Structures are given as C-alpha cells and as structure tokens.
Chain A
Amino acid sequence: MVSKRSPPDELLKFIPARDSPYTLVVVYGERSIGDFWTFPDDGTVERVLGAIAKVMPNILTLDDVKKYLESLDKPSERVNRALEAYQSLVKLREVKPGEGLPYKYEPPHLPGWKDMMIGGAIPGLKPNQRNPYFTGGTAKHYRPVINFDKCIKCSLCWEYCPDSVFDVTPDGYFNPALAYCKGCGICAEVCPVPDTIIMVDEMEFEDGYGKFIDEYRAWKENREAYRKWFESLLPKAQVISVRKR
C-alpha cells in the first residue's frame, strides 16, 4: 500500500518485479517523511485506514474504522478523511509476476565471525572516498538538476551540502553525485543565480537505484541537448524560494 499522488501504472516503473502476484493499492496523498518519525497529524493514517477498509474489509470494516476514529479528538475531520479514501482516493491494480522494474536484488554476502575484525572495528574510508556500501540517495523525493551554463562557480552548493554530494570538476564546476543526494534542496536554496539549481520530482526520471545520470558529463558531451532537457524540466521544478522568482 503506497501513499502517493501518482497512478499505479506510473509507480510500477519504479517497483521491482516480483515472482508472485500481488495487489498494488495507491492511496492518494502527499509525501510525508514525518509519519515514520514524529507522526504529524496530517491525515495519512486516517486515509490508510479508509483504504484498508475498502481493500480488505475482512480485516477492518468501515464501521470499525469509524468507531475508532470517533473515539479520538476532532472525530468528524478524521472520519471524513477515512471516508474520502474509502470512496474515491483508492486505486487498485493487480500486478502479475514479472511486472515492474527488472531489478534483481542480490542479497549481500556477509562475512562470518572469523573474517570480521574483533571489537566491532571496521576499516575506515580514504579521504574523499564516499561510503561504498551505503549511499542513501534513494531517500530523495526531489533531485537537483544543474544548469551549468548559468553557474558562476561560486561554490556555495558545494559548501552547504550536508551529504558531501558535489564533486569539484577540473574546470571548477560542481557535479552532484546523485546516488548520495538525499534531495534536501539546500543547494538550490543557496545558489545565488535563479533557476540554476532546480529541484525536480524524482518521478520525472527513470534512472535511479544507483544508476543516476552524471549531469556534468551529459552537459559536457552535448550542451545543446542538455539545455533542452533542462528547459523541459524547468516548468516542473519545485518553487524553492519566492524571493528569487
């Protein structure tokens, strides 16, 4: 069950294929990283409960959901959200085996106790070596796309990225290693030239899973094509700051 604004077919481009059939349920909703951390009261839970009632009434009926939500504060507001989901916001899609992103998950081979250093010690990194075993880049909802034509090489994006994402290129540009970018948008905010770093919904791209494109290389290889691509993304970019527009 996914809480998302995209239709199921679009999502399937990103969901790895499985060996067994399953039902994909999409509950229309906003992105929310808060729900697994600090639980903002944004209606996600109510909508998910409504969706469960719709899809699996044998587990939870709409009456059960209502009864529970009515016991909380702001009961009518909560029940309405559940009803919304129940009545209109749920999309179902039966997924056949093999449907989805062709992506093979190889479980990593973990060393045994005789091969591990004792005392919980592990080898460290070399300077400028990013962690090869953990990237974190799949956390992002938005991706920075850079218009190198407008970049004035001020280096602020490099300075402010909390995830050390930018590589300094020989000619002084800053190229994001997207596999490590968490999509916080700080670089776009600090960039002093309007529309030079834009944050674009990750759903616009079909790369990913560590196969992110190399923006700087793409620009170097074909500036004209890169410019066109960038301009096509510009209208879809998230509005970062009113100040600049």
Chain B
Amino acid sequence: MSVTALESKRLEAVLKGDEEVEVVGTGTDAVAYALMLADIDVTSAYPIRPYGGVMQTVARLIADGYMKAEYIVAAHEHDQFEIVKHASAVGARTFVGSSGVGWLLAIEAIVAISTDRYPVVALIGNRALDDPGAYGVEHNDALMVRDVGWLLVWVDTAQEALDTTLIAYRVAEDPRVMLPVGISMDGAFLTHSEHVFKIPPKSKVQKFLPPYDLGNRKLHPSNVISVAPQVNEDWVTEIRKQMDEAMKNARKVIEEVYRDFAKIFGRDYGNPFVEPYMVEDADVVMVGMGTVSKPIKEAVRRLRAKGEKVGFLRIRWFRPFPTDDIIRYLSDVKVVAVVDRDYSFGSPFDGGAVFTEIRSALYEAEHRPLMMNFIGGLGGREITYNDAINMFNMALDAARKGKVEQRVIWYGVRE
C-alpha cells in the first residue's frame, strides 16, 4: 500500500528539485499529486466510487510523509463538505470530493460553501445518479450545482487534471473570485485509467500559487466577525449580486491564470475555456465535455482525411460559461452537434443540459447554425469511435440537406 521505491524517488525529485518528473498513474493520482504540491491543510474523505481513489492516494502520501494535512474521515458526504467549509473559514486550504449520489447528499453544504464564498476545490468523479445504483459516468451530478455559484470545469487527461487542480486553487482564491471550483472527471474513463503525465516541481508551484489569504474574513479571535447571520429580504439581493459579479470576474481571472501557468510551467492550453480541434472552415462541429473527446477526435481525423469538413469543440469551463468562445467557434458552421452525457428532462427541446446552454448562447449570434443533440454514453456506456463516425454522418447529412430532421437523438437507445 505504501509508496513504492520508484515513486518515492520521483516524489523526492519534484519536492526538492526544479525539474518536472514523468510518471504513470490514474487521473485521481494526478489530482492527489497536485494536492501535495498545493500544500493543502485540511481534507475530508468519504468512500464512494469513482472519486474515492484520490483520497486513497492522498492518504498514502500523508502516511509516507510526502504531504502534511489533516485527513478527516467523515460520517457521510454532508459531513465531509461541512468539515472543509469550516476549515476554509479559518484559513486552511482544503480539498474535498465525491461522486453521484454522494455529491447530492452533500448539496446543502455545497451551496453554503459557495454562498459563504469559500474557495474550496472539489473533485467530482462523475457518476450516474441512483436509482438504480450505477457506477458509470454521467454528468448530471456536477450539473446539479450549475446555478449556485460553483465554478465547474471538465478535464479529459490526467495531465490536465493535475494542472487544472493547481489552476483551480489559484482562480478560486483570487480575491476577485472567492468561489469554489468543482473539477469534473469522467468516472472510470479518467478516474481509473492509467496515463503518462508530468509532475511539476514544487518550487514552480510555489511561484504560481500564493498562500491562501481570506483577508478580513478569516475567522479568528484576532478578527471578530459574524459569518452568515440570518438575513432578510433587505439584503439577499445584494449578497447574490456579489456572487454574480464574482462569477463574471472569474472569466477574466481564468484567462490570466492560464497565461501565468503557461509562463511558469511551459504548458500552454491555448484557449482556457474550450479546446477547439480542427474547427477552422468546418461545416459540422461536434461539442462535448470530458473523455468523449477521445473517440470524437479520432473520428475527426479520419473524416478530415477523407475530405469531410468536420471538427470538435471540447468545453472545459462550463461555469462561467464560455459564451463568447461558443459564438466565435460555432456560429458560422452549418451544423452543431452536441453530445450530452447528461439529460435535462422537460427542458426547452427535451435535450441535454449542454445542448440547451449552447443553444441559448447562440441566440445572440449573427449567424445561427442548425443544432442537433445526441444524448449518449449514459451510465458509463462507452461512446466508441464507430459511434462518433455515425453521429458525424447524421450531422453531415443534415448539413447537406440544410435541415435537421430529428433534433434530439437518444443515441444507441434500444427500441
């Protein structure tokens, strides 16, 4: 169970040296290493798959002395999130996480974390909601908090998971933002798959990530404040407006932080909000979040080789929503096909949440593309390369005809 000799040599190198070190590990391992580098003070664990792996790695790193943090095993997820909320209030950098129904059990505390403006960073190992119990990925767990002041980001490689964790602390703790960040990671496809990734040296992380400072909101006998007293209608609008402003500020801050990240670590993500893949001059662009990018990118490459003008846009930051980038990349194409690993029953076109948001963002665009929605990959069902080709073919067909025959397609549903 303990850290292996090889791993130990590598960890010593990043903690003491100035060079990054290449390792093999899962998506959750990558997040755990980021937490070690970010020197978190308090974390709280509760077992649920698929997020739980991160806490096992963190426990190992603490037990072997590579990181120092209070590691609290909670009674349940609500307990877990309240623990970090209050640790954050005292000035501790905190980490927490969950999956599926666990995340939902904590929702009361989750909302209080954002309304109290504590920059907690959470990992959501995306998982289908009960009932019936299922392990596989679905994005509805994280999407449950899309309206309450959590910044939400989806990653699709272990490297991106590690880097985004560091970026998340810097963005969340920025005085202009002071909101929590939820990092979403597709259950199994990323949480449990092995990747090669690089761990940056701690010396660089210290340059990138200043200490957590709550300023005059730190709860301490030397700073007597009352936090979140019972409030009436005279004040609630103003308190929500402050959050609205912080969320809007976050767009600017995210751009700054990615630029700084590239400067310090030499890894440039380009556009921080979305990852455009061969979208230039494309007639059909597929849109998705998370690991679905893998088969779709492969399909794009093969179709491009055959002369089809297709592309892919992966959304990283869902909150704040990248409206400008959506308009920039999608408004001029013929057909936009959104792959939703989620559902939003009874939504305006009975489509998925991402589809509905993109549709709303494009309403203001000068040109509006035709739109299709594929609901697929639910409960962890794989979206394969062949599925991606099929979806592209349907979208290309609509582009040729200039008309979408079926707007929302439950892809692969058995009749």
Tell me if chains A and B make direct contact, with any CB pair below 8 A.
yes
A152 within 8 A of B: no
Question: Which A residues are within 8 Å of any B CB, using their own CB?
Answer: 110-113, 116-126
Which residues B354-407 have CB closer than 8 A to chain A? none
Minimal beta-carbon separation of B241 from chain A (angstroms): 5
Q: CB < 8 Å: which of B118, B226, B228, B238 contacts A116?
A: B238
Interface majority SS (helix, strand, loop, mixed), chain A? loop
Question: Are A112 and B224 touching (Cβ within 8 A)?
Answer: no
Among A110, A121, A122, A126, the most chain B Cβ lie within 10 Å of the Cβ of A121
Question: Are B239 and A121 touching (Cβ within 8 A)?
Answer: no
A123 to B217, CA, bound (A): 9
Question: Are A121 and B234 touching (Cβ within 8 A)?
Answer: no
Minimal beta-carbon separation of B212 from chain A (angstroms): 14
**A116 cross-chain contacts in B, Cβ below 8 A:** 235, 238-239, 242
Minimal beta-carbon separation of B240 from chain A (angstroms): 9
Q: CB < 8 Å: which of B178, B226, B234 contacts A122?
A: B226
B225 within 8 A of A: yes
The count of residues in chain B whose C-beta lies closer than 8 Å to any C-beta of chain A is 22
**A110 cross-chain contacts in B, Cβ below 8 A:** 234-235
Question: Are B178 and A118 touching (Cβ within 8 A)?
Answer: yes
**A121 cross-chain contacts in B, Cβ below 8 A:** 217, 225-228
Taking CB as reference atom, which chain A residue is nearest B218?
A121
**A122 cross-chain contacts in B, Cβ below 8 A:** 225-226, 229
Contact with A along B219-232 (1 / 0, CB 8 A): 00000111111010
B115 within 8 A of A: yes
Taking CB as reference atom, which chain B residue is nearest A120?
B228
**B224 cross-chain contacts in A, Cβ below 8 A:** 123-126
**A113 cross-chain contacts in B, Cβ below 8 A:** 238-239, 241-242, 245
5 A-B residue pairings within 8 Å (CB atoms): A118-B242, A120-B116, A120-B239, A121-B226, A123-B224
A114 to B61, CA, bound (A): 42
**B245 cross-chain contacts in A, Cβ below 8 A:** 113
Given contacts A123-B224, A125-B224, contact A118 B117 (CB under 8 A): yes
Taking CB as reference atom, which chain A residue is nearest B243?
A118
B4 within 8 A of A: no
Minimal beta-carbon separation of B216 from chain A (angstroms): 7
